[in-house]
Amino acid sequence: MLPTDQYSPRIHDLLLLRAGIVSSAGVAKPAWVSYSPASNLWVVVRRAIAPDGLVAVGIRGINRQQRWGGFADVADVKERLRPSQLSLHMASRTRIVLPALAALVWLEEQLDKSELDWGPVGSVGFELATGQQVVTATSDLDLVLFTPTRFTRDTARDLWSFMSAAPSKVDVRVETPYCGFSLEEYAREGTEQVLVRLPASRILAEDPWAISVSEDKE
């Protein structure tokens, strides 16, 4: 857990809210959200610009299709977990036979001494943080790699060649200070531009690290 007064929420972080109150971001709250716990609610920080004092978050439902985004009060955050803080020791022993979790076991062993800022997100990250068994036999392993410093396409190819060798399908999202993009797409031979995700838009770019906030338009 990270102290709430020393760390600002970052995309993909998992937050535990004391009151469990999430306000609408302009999209009507679906009926299934009403059945979520009123307190001690786990949410994930999403890619959106939030008003002062608030953080953009997403709520997971029981089903894969149940996802809803809103805003939470930063003062309501009880705990924060970064993807890099999530590891297999947090999982139930009976769960590591699932392909996505088995792939994480393999990657943790291979990257034990690595200085990469990486970790599981998606259903695997959510299960490790909350203890809620949401990973299924068909779940992919979603990973995030935080890279404030630019790396070359050759480096991307080496990384993707290694990470994609895990014993289950993996999807790696690279996060720069301003945007996110697919490691697989960036590493692909002959691809000059990649689709980068910004808080309010998606654009094609040759160099994701050269993207600035000013280029994000509604």
Residue-wise pLDDT for 181-217, tens only, equals 999 999 998 888 999 999 989 999 999 999 876 566 5
What's the number of domains the chain is made of?
2
pTM above 0.75, yes or no: yes
Report which DSSP code applies to 90: G
In this structure, is residue 8 part of a structural domain?
A: no
B/e letters for 159-181, b = 16+ CB within 10 Å, e = fewer, are bbeebeebebebbbbbbbebbbb
Regarding whether 205 and 117 lie in a shared domain, the answer is yes
Regarding whether 160 and 68 lie in a shared domain, the answer is no
On the question of pLDDT at 79 being above 80, the answer is yes
**Known catalytic residue at 158:** no
Per-residue pLDDT averaged across 130-158, rounded?
A: 94
Among residues 37, 57, 81, the one where a domain terminates is: 81
How far apart are alpha carbons 171 and 156 in whole angstroms? 13
pLDDT on residue 5: 47
Domain that holds residue 69: 14-81
In this structure, is residue 64 part of a structural domain?
A: yes
Regarding whether 144 and 94 lie in a shared domain, the answer is yes
**Known catalytic residue at 52:** no
Regarding whether 110 and 60 lie in a shared domain, the answer is no
Phi and psi torsions of 77, nearest 5°: -75, 120
Of residues 94 and 143, more confidence is placed in: 143
Which residue of the set 13, 76, 142, 216 is catalytic? Answer: 142
Q: What is the CATH number of the domain that holds 56?
A: 2.30.30
pLDDT on residue 24: 80
Regarding whether 189 and 103 lie in a shared domain, the answer is yes
In this structure, is residue 2 part of a structural domain?
A: no
Which residue of the set 76, 140, 154, 216 is catalytic? Answer: 140
Among residues 81, 111, 127, the one where a domain terminates is: 81
In this structure, is residue 3 part of a structural domain?
A: no
The mean pLDDT value of the chain amounts to 88
In this structure, is residue 7 part of a structural domain?
A: no
pLDDT on residue 218: 47
pLDDT digits (tens, 9 = 90+) for 10-67: 999 999 998 888 888 777 777 777 655 556 789 999 999 998 999 999 988 777 778 8
